[in-house]
Chains A and B, each alone.
Chain A
């Protein structure tokens, strides 16, 4: 009986017929933001800095084959992304466009861990979902040219799925903030906010300790609960004001690129069908293309089982740190792909030593001789990257004729305003540890004081 009711409720939420408009507007906005992001990335010269300048890349486990290979290849991927995002906006060759965008974007993101950003991960996930969603079934080139049948009505789950993904970002970001540093010390916001004390009007306020506490608590509460307010018809408009204010502040205060804008526009998907229908009508006037008011065909499909698996993975992955050893913030095992956004101020300075085991002689290595400034900075606080670099150095010196180089390292790391302290056991030869191992016994345990 109860199971039956849960099933009914689930069907009600997931499979009931709804209007397609929110999904269509989301498609257009997402495509537009991606096009803009690609142009921005290119115009800042980051392709050169991040994908062409480095001679070594911090690959993900088992993905060493994902390399830039050749400048033409990388620029082609960026070109493809631009064309594909236009395809997504227009709903032209939509599935192909969405697939190409997902593949090109994800490939580029997987080249180097040092470029990892939660919002890039978010983009990859959304692009992946869009491949399978019928976002091109209305107000699209594909419908106009007769490649697919148009429809006004779809099952609810494609829209719910995107809402679910946004909910994951917010709620896990909120849960991550429930830690003593964030709530009791207002760190790292105390450090980050005082830096903006020269801002006109707001500046003096940002230097106040109380402001940091307010922002910390308000940020945590916002992240934890905003989705529920956005889902609620009565509270939605207020909630959206909060979305705009919150992300507006983060855009103003932190160097986080497109992320605030992506979130502000993505959360529009919580708005009503009427709202989105009006948006489409406005757009229609603008481009003088009127999609038919009604189609006879409805798109009605049950939520595919595969997406249930997807949902489970999305819930489990951010929680995997629970079964991984060590302090999450110190060792960072299970830190990525978990919506820990702007959560800590961590910086380090790493030095490596290479020892020729046949002579016992040692040379100091400056990582900056081999890595870009961004890579140096990201590596200094992340054990998995330190280990990868140690193995890279081993190969590098073997090529120079040292048969058995041992590699040791030390990094001094500061975390949320605590004085820097040694991060590694510098007596350990790191090449003894596999980069596929979660054994971080060579990382010194985190000590609070």
Chain B
């Protein structure tokens, strides 16, 4: 009797297995360590290296500008600023581990910057850039203001004020030291921590990568486009709230940021093993209706990038001159969020919550 029921159960089981369509792999094996290694070795560490060297160069130029406020030195500093800010856009999706510890994103890129606070700090000549109250008076957005808020002559005059150029220097040095420390941490141990955390739970390499990619992508959508476009304010637009407002680089910055996110997904980095999140999704047969989820994500992301590229630069001007086109770009980014934040983590079984808790 027992035997018969055991056999019949086995039959039911086999029946269940055999009547499912066999269009896909029987195995979902994927080497997550290879993915993490590719992202870390070919993207994260080189990007931090780029940020560390460009921000070191920025300090050098700022020192020259402080000692000799000349037109050439101002131009060189602006160029160094643009280089370092662009390098930062390629790092901002990696706000975990050393960067999270240093609250790097908040310190380096909180915008819109608080002009009144900057002026008060310069006036008093005494300030602590690590204080929470100074988070929106430091980082790249504060440099953006200091270097670009007025015409060249005015800025050069201001740079003759020792308080002003001391403030400029202090910010450059802070950016440089945080960047150097983060790079150092990745090179001296964090790389191992990252690639060896091969699970999908909170604190795993993949978990952190996917979560922070999403957080960063939403910041692009909301703060580089949405808030200035009036999405949060009953249609009242705030063009001046864009990133890199004074230097008019908002579109370039957003596009650099998006391109890095695209690379995390494709993994197609020049010297790497070409393994990105897309390969992982394919390995677990992740589908989006009739197509591969990886294809759906890249198609939608590219729509977003193209819609952004179609805008006049900078974004604040696009909002005024091409409102509908900017809104289209926003909507394309919004559609991308769904795929990145709902489908991708669900299919990879990555917990998309920054809060530790039990499930059932």
Residues of B within 8 A of A190 (CB): 28
Nearest CB on A from B212, distance (A): 13
| Complex: A204 Cα to B350 Cα, angstroms | 18
* Known contacts A50-B357, A204-B29, A184 near B16 by CB under 8 Å: yes
Residues of B within 8 A of A255 (CB): 201, 351, 357-359
Residues B289 and A449 in contact, CB atoms below 8 Å apart: yes
The 8 Å CB contact of B358, one of A117, A192, A208, is: A117
* Known contacts A194-B349, A349-B338, A349-B342, A208 near B26 by CB under 8 Å: yes
Residues B231 and A363 in contact, CB atoms below 8 Å apart: yes
Chain B residue nearest to A206 in the complex (CB): B28
The 8 Å CB contact of B25, one of A209, A257, A372, is: A209
* Known contacts A373-B353, A377-B353, A363 near B234 by CB under 8 Å: yes
| Complex: A365 Cα to B341 Cα, angstroms | 17
B222 at the interface (CB under 8 A from A): yes
Q: In the complex, how many residues of chain B place their beta carbon closer than 8 angstroms to a beta carbon of chain A?
A: 57
Residues A347 and B352 in contact, CB atoms below 8 Å apart: yes
9-residue interface stretch from A210-218, A292-300, A306-314, A425-433: A210-218
Residues A195 and B199 in contact, CB atoms below 8 Å apart: yes
Nearest CB on A from B123, distance (A): 33
Residues of B within 8 A of A285 (CB): none
Residues B286 and A213 in contact, CB atoms below 8 Å apart: no
* Known contacts A191-B284, A209-B26, A372 near B355 by CB under 8 Å: yes
A44 at the interface (CB under 8 A from B): yes
Residues of B within 8 A of A341 (CB): 360
Q: Which of A166-214 contact B (CB under 8 A)?
A: 183-186, 190-192, 194-198, 204, 207-210, 213-214
B154 at the interface (CB under 8 A from A): no
Chain B residue nearest to A380 in the complex (CB): B342
Residues B198 and A198 in contact, CB atoms below 8 Å apart: yes
A111 at the interface (CB under 8 A from B): no
| Complex: A354 Cα to B16 Cα, angstroms | 48
Chain B, 314-352, contact with A by CB distance < 8 Å: what is the 0/1 string?
A: 000000000000000000001001110111011111111
A71 at the interface (CB under 8 A from B): no
Residues B30 and A207 in contact, CB atoms below 8 Å apart: yes
Residues of B within 8 A of A418 (CB): 289
Residues A412 and B338 in contact, CB atoms below 8 Å apart: yes
| Complex: A204 Cα to B287 Cα, angstroms | 22
| Complex: A346 Cα to B346 Cα, angstroms | 7
Nearest CB on A from B245, distance (A): 21
Chain A, 353-390, contact with B by CB distance < 8 Å: what is the 0/1 string?
A: 01010010111111000001110010000000000000
The 8 Å CB contact of A209, one of B28, B198, B200, is: B28
Nearest CB on B from A214, distance (A): 7
Residues A347 and B355 in contact, CB atoms below 8 Å apart: no
B33 at the interface (CB under 8 A from A): yes
Residues A414 and B235 in contact, CB atoms below 8 Å apart: no
| Complex: A49 Cα to B198 Cα, angstroms | 27
* Known contacts A183-B16, A191-B346, A412-B338, A119 near B30 by CB under 8 Å: no
| Complex: A191 Cα to B350 Cα, angstroms | 10
| Complex: A184 Cα to B199 Cα, angstroms | 27
| Complex: A129 Cα to B334 Cα, angstroms | 50
Residues B346 and A347 in contact, CB atoms below 8 Å apart: yes
Residues of B within 8 A of A374 (CB): 353, 355, 357
The 8 Å CB contact of A118, one of B13, B30, B286, B360, is: B360
| Complex: A44 Cα to B358 Cα, angstroms | 11
| Complex: A347 Cα to B348 Cα, angstroms | 12
Residues B358 and A347 in contact, CB atoms below 8 Å apart: no
Nearest CB on A from B43, distance (A): 21
Residues of A within 8 A of B12 (CB): 217
Nearest CB on A from B267, distance (A): 18
The 8 Å CB contact of B28, one of A194, A348, A354, A366, is: A194
| Complex: A48 Cα to B293 Cα, angstroms | 37
Residues A414 and B357 in contact, CB atoms below 8 Å apart: no
* Known contacts A185-B20, A195-B348, A349 near B337 by CB under 8 Å: yes
A420 at the interface (CB under 8 A from B): yes
Residues B234 and A362 in contact, CB atoms below 8 Å apart: yes
Chain B residue nearest to A377 in the complex (CB): B353
How many residues of A sit at the interface, in one of the four size bands? 35 or more
| Complex: A315 Cα to B23 Cα, angstroms | 41
Chain B residue nearest to A122 in the complex (CB): B360
Residues of B within 8 A of A146 (CB): none
Chain A, 127-155, contact with B by CB distance < 8 Å: what is the 0/1 string?
A: 00000000000000000000000000000
| Complex: A189 Cα to B345 Cα, angstroms | 15
Chain B residue nearest to A119 in the complex (CB): B360
Residues A419 and B235 in contact, CB atoms below 8 Å apart: no
B4 at the interface (CB under 8 A from A): no
Chain A residue nearest to B5 in the complex (CB): A225
Chain A residue nearest to B218 in the complex (CB): A366
Residues B28 and A198 in contact, CB atoms below 8 Å apart: no
Residues A413 and B342 in contact, CB atoms below 8 Å apart: yes
Residues B360 and A417 in contact, CB atoms below 8 Å apart: no
Nearest CB on B from A325, distance (A): 25
Residues A348 and B233 in contact, CB atoms below 8 Å apart: no
| Complex: A44 Cα to B359 Cα, angstroms | 15
| Complex: A402 Cα to B17 Cα, angstroms | 57
The 8 Å CB contact of B235, one of A118, A196, A362, is: A362
* Known contacts A198-B32, A221-B9, A414-B346, A184 near B19 by CB under 8 Å: yes
Residues B359 and A213 in contact, CB atoms below 8 Å apart: no
Residues of B within 8 A of A377 (CB): 352-353
Nearest CB on A from B184, distance (A): 28
Residues A207 and B29 in contact, CB atoms below 8 Å apart: yes
Residues of A within 8 A of B25 (CB): 209
Chain A residue nearest to B226 in the complex (CB): A364
Chain A residue nearest to B231 in the complex (CB): A364
| Complex: A196 Cα to B349 Cα, angstroms | 9
Chain B residue nearest to A353 in the complex (CB): B231
Q: Which of A337-357 contact B (CB under 8 A)?
A: 341-342, 345-349, 351, 354, 356
Residues of A within 8 A of B16 (CB): 183-184, 213, 217
Residues of A within 8 A of B289 (CB): 418-419, 449
**With contacts A347-B345, A373-B354, A417-B347 known, what are 18 further pairs, Cβ within 8 A?**
A115-B357, A118-B360, A119-B360, A207-B28, A209-B28, A213-B16, A217-B12, A255-B351, A258-B358, A342-B360, A356-B234, A362-B234, A372-B355, A373-B353, A374-B357, A413-B342, A414-B347, A419-B293
Q: Which 8 A-B pairs have the closest CB atoms?
A: A257-B358, A195-B349, A419-B288, A198-B198, A412-B338, A194-B28, A195-B200, A361-B234
Q: What would be 30 A-B contacts, judged by CB atoms less than 8 Å apart?
A: A44-B356, A46-B356, A49-B356, A117-B360, A183-B16, A191-B349, A192-B349, A197-B28, A198-B32, A207-B27, A207-B30, A208-B28, A209-B26, A209-B27, A210-B26, A213-B13, A213-B16, A217-B12, A254-B359, A255-B351, A255-B358, A255-B359, A259-B360, A345-B349, A362-B235, A363-B231, A365-B232, A366-B222, A377-B352, A417-B286
